A and B are shown apart, each in its own frame.
Chain A
Amino acid sequence: MSHANWNRGIRRVVWMAATVAALAATACGDDYEPLIICHNANCLEPANPEDDSTLETLEASMALFDEERGTPPFDGLEIDTFWWGDEERCLMAHDLDHPERAVDAVEAVEAVHEALSDRMSRGEAITRSGEHFTLLIELKGHVEPPKEAHHNPEQRRQHAECAVEMAQLFMDGADDAGYSAEVVFMSFAPPLLKALSEVEGFDALRQRQQGVRLSALHGLPRPLDIQTEPLDAFPDDIGIDLISAHPHWTRDIDIQAYESRGFELNLWSFNLVPEHYDAIRIWRPIYVTTSQAPTLSAWLDQKAR
């Protein structure tokens, strides 16, 4: 073999080794894991959205416990809230198709607190990560079944006061029972987040324990879903620090826009598919809100092995 061929051969080997090393580096895991939030108070499997946001599924979901790892399969739970205009009630519900069946949102908070207190009294972990429990409160942007039926200013204030009352109740309970708690308020509707920030007691909430976060919410883009507002519709003077987005309808350019606003990421979905696992691996959200918390927990566990 000539000297030139020998050098060429060495260069090829070096390039191949560098390529393999680069691929291996991207494949290797690290300590990153998102916090898992139980979507719509329902992470019973198989995922069935029909049972979302009912007291029965909330209680059954809060009872989920992974005996092998010694923790629940999630770090928090989402409660959907509606201001039901006809009866001026604050409900836990995913939609207003059957408001008469829905319970008051405060009852849902009491059920969460009761489950966590029981777990504390048994000396069990209350979250998968061992960190604080996150209560995610979504404020729905309409007061009647049609999504176009938005709040009037008074309804907006009442809905915001209800959400703050829920947070205060939850954090008071956490203080009494001795567990660490965090509240995230989330909405498609910028005016509702603005109203929240103006409710008396909201600033005091932000000073407590892990504090309170505000999240903008994006779903399917318009015109597929008229709830999704452009990013610049969310004011920058009320402390929004999180964006909740669906992985299928999020692109790199969206991620860059979120980062430019200083938002951390919460990815939400119902039913896990490979696209979601890739989005978690690439975009590294701080929260993942899913209806399949046990499955996501298992995936994270095997990834960490």
Chain B
Amino acid sequence: MKIRWFSKYLLAAVVLLAVSAVHMDRAWADEAVTPQVGAEESQWSHTLELGTNIRTDFGVHVMRLDAAWSTDRVRGMVVLDPLFWLDGKSSTDVLAMWRTDGFEPFVGWRLNRVRLLEGSQSQHNLLLGTALRFPEFFGGRVGGQWGIELAMMLYKHGGGVEANAIRFDSGRHYIDLVNFGMFARFHYNLEIR
């Protein structure tokens, strides 16, 4: 239970930090970097985001690191798993998000790698979901999202076992392969000129 409890406390700590930052943001606002485009808004036209992707659900490690490139309309993101050394399991995501005023629906692909005796098994997942944008702090330098996702395992292969693809003949064929999860993401924005 240690990792799950740790992850919950970590998530709670991050949320508390975010709330604290609201207050700090007021004090820092005057010193914040002024955006080059749309000075009254806290977004730039092109942004490189470096962030952490946190969750408590099973299936993906509690914390992963991500990098994203975003415009006013879209965000492309890669999520990498630095905790693969804990248990030989890793999850790598590639996501495309559509940015609206609040919600950000996304579609993506997740590669899970699970170490078995004869190498690792690769599991390819379709990701569908939506994220809710958190307020931005420090003049737009720090932002975040809370999201829900559906991960559907489409095909798995390797590791010395037979390849297997999802089928929808009956509930028994896909009940294990369709999963839901929640995540929180916090990122630091770098303006791209």
Contact = CB atoms under 8 A, between A and B. Distances in A.
Interface in B158-193: 159-164, 169-170, 172-173, 175-177, 179
Going nearest first, the 5 A-B pairs with the smallest beta carbon separation are A49-B172, A278-B58, A275-B59, A46-B164, A275-B58
Contacts of B60: 274
Given A52-B172, A248-B176, A282-B4, A273 B123 contact: yes
Interface of B is mostly: mixed
A274 B112 contact: yes
Nearest to A94: B172
Question: What band does the interface of chain A fall in when counting residues whose beta carbon is under 8 Å from B?
Answer: 35 or more
Contacts of B163: 46
Interface of A is mostly: helix
A4 interface: no
Contact of A299 (B116, B170, B177): B116
B75 to A, nearest CB: 25
B1 interface: yes
Interface in B103-157: 112, 114-118, 121, 123, 153
Contacts of A22: 2, 6
B151 to A, nearest CB: 9
Interface in B54-100: 57-60, 85-89, 91
A279 B58 contact: yes
B86 A275 contact: no
A46 B117 contact: no
Interface string B30-52: 00000000000000000000000
Nearest to B178: A248
A294 interface: yes
Given A278-B59, A299-B114, A45 B164 contact: yes
Contact of B176 (A23, A26, A50, A273): A273
Contact of B153 (A45, A52, A252, A273): A273
Given A271-B177, A273-B176, A282 B3 contact: yes
Interface in A1-41: 22-23, 25-27
Contact of A298 (B123, B160, B169): B160
A65 to B, nearest CB: 15
Given A248-B179, A270-B172, A275-B179, A302 B58 contact: no
Contact of B123 (A52, A274, A281, A299): A274
A175 B5 CA distance: 46
Given A47-B164, A279-B58, A273 B172 contact: no
Given A47-B164, A252-B4, A274 B58 contact: yes
Contacts of A26: 2-3, 6, 86
Contacts of A301: 117
A236 B1 CA distance: 27
Contact of B87 (A27, A246, A247, A294): A27
A295 B123 contact: no
A176 B169 CA distance: 42
Given A247-B58, A274-B59, A295-B161, A282 B1 contact: yes
B167 to A, nearest CB: 8
B175 A220 contact: yes
A299 B1 CA distance: 20
